[in-house]
Structure 1
Amino acid sequence: MSDILIDTAANGVATVTMNRGEVHNAFNEHVIADLTDAFRKLGADPAVRAVLLRGAGKSFSAGADLGWMKKMAGYSHEENVQDAMGLATMLRTLDECPKPTVAVVQGSAFGGGVGLVAACDIAISADTASFALTEVRLGLIPAVISPYVIAAMGERACRRYFLTAERFSAAEALRLGLLHQTVKAEELEGAVASTLRNLLQCGPASQTAAKELVRAVARRPMSTDVMLDTAQRIARQRASDEGKEGVGAFLDKREPAWRS
């Protein structure tokens, strides 16, 4: 049985499921490579409109597989760096996927699992899910996932949860910004469907450009360079085929081509 399942529906929504429920969807180097490949291929597929990331079974992801971690302890420094770069590449591929990405969190997310949630554009969770950044309890640090988790939760929250490794609830994850929405477990699929309906109403090229815009502007001080960069981005979008179609459809009181 494959550790990663990929299914693309007729509406262009692709679902990537981590299929290791028996070990709480913990990932090793093979799962990381498969996820990297999946995110890269789906991001390049023009038929794909959005990507859902799920975990099979009770947990979303427990992070790194303990057997993999034990094996890494015997690696040289250079081998450990190379191995860690595999995880870093996977997270960056997810973060920079040109398509909207949605984490569907039905259960616990620990360690690297929190990194996966943070690297997605949108995160929707059952209110019964719990979260923890457990690395320091193992004498480790959440290094590779830190850029995404800090961007999602903020430096102040990370100074607590990186250091205590304590569990926190879905409600707390929502308050901190790691999650966008929490619902009762039985309402999770409905909430995901509602988000997908909104995503599929929008221009796909515009969504890709909007994701690039966030990365280009976030955490940069306002300057003439930033002003010029954003002006050039909207100018390109206005002159694009999709931009012309969207504005034309609005003025003509008709549906744009991507909704037909």
Structure 2
Amino acid sequence: MTELVHLSTDDAVATITLDSPHNRNALSRQLVTELTAHLETADVDPAVRVIRLRSAHRVFCAGADLSEAAQGQSGATAALVAMLRRIVAADTPVVVELAGPVVAGGLGIVGAADIVVASDDVTVQLTEVRLGLAPAVISLTLLPRLTSRAASELFLSGRRISAAEAAAAGFISRVVAPKDVLVEVDSVVADLARGTAQGLRETKRLLNRNLLAHIDAEGGDMAELSERLFNSDEAKAAMRAFLKR
């Protein structure tokens, strides 16, 4: 089986790369499993001070793997909650390098990360409402980041927004020109790598204390809601129609 997520380490930086071009890094069971495992490996490595999360291709993440989801989502939503929790609970800061578009479930990863650097030509979109779904699981990491008005519009409209709008809404940290993304991420990573293991760990725990408690309190309910919606007749019909386009 070809690996869909790669892990490499250089000095204090672990780089995790999403590499599933056939479905634009959609959140298949395999990708979520591998991403979770690599996050765990990087987080327990005593030499690592920063985790850099990126895509090998133009699209960062296309959301749920609809070809799998249309067949049923038994257990998949709980695995997604566990993966998002792994990012939030990691003792190591996670920096997302967002050089391409991200849709639906992929935004849960963006919300879970500590710092997000995006190209100004990136777009983001929550498409669940158009497929008979709700952004249930990813609401765990998005709602704490977004203003309430922005959340209402983005969740309900399903419209595509720019990186600048996403930054104003609260879930992107920095927006730069496409040619500057790598340099900007390098700068952020270098700053973080100067921290000590204890300093980074305890500061991240302080920052994410409420978010982690929220995930632990609501994660089970959101996974159940998401699975119920994915398995509904309305959502299955909408997903089949989307896949036939």
TM superposition score normalised by structure 2:
0.83
Q: Is 1:180 aligned to 2:199, yes or no?
A: no
**Counterpart in the other structure of 1:153:** 146
CA distance in 1, matches of 2:96, 2:184: 12
For residues 134-153 of structure 1, the aligned pairs below 5 Å read: 134-153=127-146
Paired residues in the alignment total: 212
1:166 aligns with one of 159, 168, 171:
159
Letter of the 1:25 partner, please give it: N
Post-superposition CA distance 1:118-171 (Å, at most 9, x none): 110000000000001111111101101101111112322111111111000001
CA distance in 2, matches of 1:217, 1:21: 35
Compared with structure 1, are the counterparts of its residues 50 and 67 closer, same or farther at alpha carbon in structure 2 (3 Å cutoff)? same
Letter of the 1:49 partner, please give it: R
Say what the alpha-carbon RMSD is for the aligned residues: 1.6
CA distance in 1, matches of 2:150, 2:68: 29
Q: CA deviation at 1:22?
A: 3.2
Q: Contact 1:91/1:116 (CA < 8 Å) preserved in 2?
A: yes
For residues 18-57 of structure 1, the aligned pairs below 5 Å read: 18-57=18-57
CA distance in 2, matches of 1:56, 1:160: 31
Q: CA deviation at 1:42?
A: 1.1
Letter of the 1:71 partner, please give it: Q
Q: CA deviation at 1:218?
A: 6.8
Identity %: 32
CA distance in 2, matches of 1:54, 1:86: 20
Letter of the 2:166 partner, please give it: A
Q: Partner of 1:104: helix, strand, or coil?
A: strand
Compared with structure 1, are the counterparts of its residues 92 and 24 closer, same or farther at alpha carbon in structure 2 (3 Å cutoff)? same
Q: Is 1:106 aligned to 2:99, yes or no?
A: yes
Letter of the 2:28 partner, please give it: N
For residues 1-260 of structure 1, the aligned pairs below 5 Å read: 1-9=2-10, 11-72=11-72, 79=74, 82-216=75-209
TM superposition score normalised by structure 1:
0.78
Q: CA deviation at 1:40?
A: 1.3
Runs of 5+ unmatched residues, structure 1: 221-260
CA distance in 2, matches of 1:108, 1:217: 28
Q: Partner of 1:153: helix, strand, or coil?
A: coil
Of structures 1 and 2, the larger Rg is shown by 1
Q: Partner of 1:144: helix, strand, or coil?
A: helix
Q: Contact 2:120/2:178 (CA < 8 Å) preserved in 1?
A: yes
Post-superposition CA distance 1:44-79 (Å, at most 9, x none): 11111110111121111011111111111xx6xxx3
Q: Which runs of 4+ in 1 moved over 2 A?
A: 215-220
Compared with structure 1, are the counterparts of its residues 99 and 71 closer, same or farther at alpha carbon in structure 2 (3 Å cutoff)? same
CA distance in 2, matches of 1:156, 1:147: 17
Q: CA deviation at 1:215?
A: 2.6
Q: Contact 1:110/1:134 (CA < 8 Å) preserved in 2?
A: yes
Answer 1 or 2: higher relative contact order, Cα 8 Å, separation at least 6. 2
Q: Contact 2:43/2:91 (CA < 8 Å) preserved in 1?
A: yes
Post-superposition CA distance 1:162-214 (Å, at most 9, x none): 11110000010111111110111111011011111211122221111011112
Q: Partner of 1:136: helix, strand, or coil?
A: helix
Q: Contact 2:88/2:212 (CA < 8 Å) preserved in 1?
A: no
Q: CA deviation at 1:217?
A: 5.6
